[in-house]
């Protein structure tokens, strides 16, 4: 018999038996697992130990599998785990049925959590949870992005006034803007601080997610600030971004002009930008 087929069959059986939901008994007698090797045959090639039966020995691997991945996903999605409470483990089990790990890198296991929330049946507060998962996933993503040099106030001071007409400002790589329909950032903030999260509500919110000195940060934004930053991120010149923000704003022009100056200072201090392109 071909080695590949024989070893492969054994491995497919064991892998399917470990990943199957339900009790140990249900797993080994399920169609998916018995399709590889019927349990009556499997019993013949697993050795019992002095103290454990065949199924108990297999069960050790099964329980470690789910516990490990429950823990791993909780590191990336602490607020999702908090929100789901006792349902969190069931959520992970269901997720792994649709999106089992297919990578050597456990970070990749998280990628489809927002998609799963969007499409899986019986998800409570689906829209809120989708936004919360997107925010948490982005934090993990930004954590691993490359560091880019940060634009300093001194460098900005050296730019001659006429250049600002057309200058574009490039954000750092580890930067992302969110436009949410729920208070997800407040919710995450509370969970991170071990506080009781606010009541979930439908509310337009805006937040910048970024990394400075290898630490993750989130800055809540006003609608006007978000609009201006979005234009900058989209590659519009700074002056166009300011004009657009003023036009879109409900604030009087003088008020917004002052605010724009303050925002820009704050964003530079926070290290949002890497360079000016003239």
Where along the sequence are the contacts to another protein (CB under 8 A)? 3-4, 6-8, 10-12, 14-15, 18-19, 44-47, 49-52, 57-58, 60-61, 64-65, 68-69, 72, 100-107, 142-147, 174, 211, 214-215
Distance in Å, CB of 59 to another protein, minimum: 9
Q: How far is the CB of 55 from another protein (least distance, A)?
A: 10
Note whether 201 and 182 are within 8 A (CB). Answer: yes
Taking the least distance from each CB to another protein, the nearer of 61 and 261 is 61
DSSP structural state of residue 102? -
Contact in structure between 136 and 246 (CB atoms under 8 Å): no
| Local structure of residue 171 (DSSP, 8 states) | E
**What's the token pair of residue 226?**
């978000």
Nearest-approach distance from CB 86 to another protein, in angstroms: 24
Of 155, 165, 94, 166, nearest to 123 by C-alpha is 94
Residue number with CB closer to another protein (105 or 122): 105
Angle at 253 between CA 248 and CA 257, to 5 degrees: 100
What is the DSSP secondary structure assignment for residue 29, as one 8-state letter?
A: T
Complex with another protein: residue 55 or 129, whichever CB lies closer: 55
* Nearer Cβ to another protein (143/164): 143
Please, what is the minimum distance in Å from the beta carbon of residue 23 to another protein? 18
CB atoms within 10 A of CB 79: 20
Q: Which is nearer to another protein, 92 or 256 (CB)?
A: 92
- How far, in Å, CA of 130 to CA of 127, rounded? 5
Beta bridge partners of 144: none
CB of 226 to another protein, least distance (A): 25
* Closest CB 19 distance from another protein, rounded Å: 7
What distances in angstroms separate CA 100 from CA 87, 111, 112, 128, 248, one per listed residue?
A: 19, 11, 10, 24, 45
139 or 228, CB closer to another protein?
139
């Amino acid at each position: 018999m071909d080695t590949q087929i024989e070893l492969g069959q054994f491995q497919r059986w064991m892998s399917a038996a470990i990943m199957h939901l339900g009790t140990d008994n249900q797993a080994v007698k399920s169609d998916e697992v018995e399709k590889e090797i019927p349990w009556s045959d499997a019993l013949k090639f697993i050795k019992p130990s002095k103290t454990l039966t065949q199924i108990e020995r297999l069960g050790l691997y099964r329980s470690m599998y789910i516990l490990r991945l429950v823990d791993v996903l909780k590191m990336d999605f602490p607020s999702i785990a908090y929100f789901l409470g006792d349902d969190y483990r069931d959520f992970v089990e269901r997720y792994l049925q649709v999106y089992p790990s297919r990578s050597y890198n456990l970070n990749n296991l998280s990628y489809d959590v927002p998609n799963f929330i969007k499409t899986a049946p019986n998800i409570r507060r689906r829209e809120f949870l989708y936004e919360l998962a997107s925010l948490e996933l982005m934090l993990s993503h930004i954590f691993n992005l490359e560091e880019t040099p940060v634009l300093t106030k001194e460098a900005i001071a050296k730019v001659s006034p006429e250049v600002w007409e057309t200058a574009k400002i490039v954000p750092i790589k580890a930067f992302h803007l969110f436009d949410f329909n729920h208070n997800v950032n407040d919710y995450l903030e509370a969970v991170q601080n071990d506080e009781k999260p606010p009541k979930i509500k439908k509310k337009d919110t805006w937040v910048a997610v970024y990394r400075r000195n290898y630490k993750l940060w989130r800055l809540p934004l006003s609608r006007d600030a978000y609009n201006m930053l979005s234009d900058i991120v989209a590659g519009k010149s700074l002056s166009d971004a300011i004009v657009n923000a003023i036009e879109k704003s409900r604030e009087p022009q003088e008020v917004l002009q002052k605010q724009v100056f303050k925002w820009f200072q704050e964003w530079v201090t926070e290290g949002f930008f890497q360079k000016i392109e003239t």
